[in-house]
Amino acid sequence: MTSHAVSAAAAGTWTLGDLTVNRIGFGAMRLTGSAAFHQGTPSDRGRAIATLRRAVELGVNHIDTAAFYFSRLRSANELINSALAPYADDLVIATKVGPARDADGEWSTSARPDRLRGQVEENLRQLGRDHLDLVNLRLMGQDSASEHFGALAELRDAGLVRHLGISAARPEHLAEAREIAPVVCVQNRYGLDARGGDEMLRTCAAHGIAFVPFFSIAGEGREAGTVRAEHDHVRTVARAHGVSPAQVRLAWILQQGAHVLAIPGTGNPDHLVDNVAAGALRLTAEELALLDAIGESAS
């Protein structure tokens, strides 16, 4: 498999409301540095911008970001604006609101509903947009999503936001949100060895809602990236196809349903090409069963 020749279109498409995207996209969090947020070495600005432009060249038209993706010297939104504005008509930029960080990078509790407009406007300023294509409400452990999601629905009605989604959500949160306004996607942690999202995966499929896993490659490493030795089953499948373990993990994600969108993140152009190539990798039923066993043993 020659990953340099593969376009994101090879993964197929899905429609977020009225916006069609290739099923393999790009997550912008890792553009800000070598580790999460204020820790680690600041990213090389030129390489981050080159990675974003290369992603679009490869057919990526779904980029996931947030105003709280910033480190000491880098802001993901600012990098996206510098690299890609003026934006292509088919480029969908999804962002998140809810979590709050101060200028020193310290986290506070979830923003109050009346503060969400300010967070939306912050994303608009940083991205240089007059509206946001998609805003996900990132839940921070609250029992109910209604008040926060209702505040975002008002911003949608006002024209600041085109489509809405939820993140780190349970099925009951999705049911609440759908009573208020259309939900086009759910962003939850999910991967080969993080299978707690199976119920939400199925719920989204039943309602025609995109399921957008995060940390699909990093697993337990989360924001810090991959920190564990790769599982033998993943290595076996990777060797059989002559691809990287990361590609196997992404291909497995994409084969969980036509409604599943992948948003792997990287600040490395070579890793980007490798990730996008996963959209063309098709695993056999036997390989899927072998990989499924990882999640069963982890649960």
What positions carry a catalytic annotation? 69
Question: Cβ neighbours of residue 9 under 8 Å, at least 6 residues apart?
Answer: 22, 59, 279
- Please report how many Cα atoms fall inside a 13 Å half-sphere around the Cα of residue 210, on the Cβ side: 32
The DSSP string of 117-171 is HHHHHHHHHHHT-SSEEEEEEE--S-S--HHHHHHHHHHHHTTSEEEEEEES--H
Check whether the bond before 86 is cis (ω within 30° of 0). yes
Q: What is the DSSP string of 47-114?
A: HHHHHHHHHHHTT--EEE--TT-B-SS-BHHHHHHHHHPSPPTT-EEEEEES-EE-TT--EESPPPGG
- Could you give phi then psi for residue 83, rounded to 5 degrees? -80, -35
276 by DSSP, 3-state: which?
Answer: helix
Between CA 209 and CA 171 the distance in angstroms is 12
Residues pairing with 16 in the sheet: 19
| Residue 52 to residue 78: CA distance in whole angstroms | 12
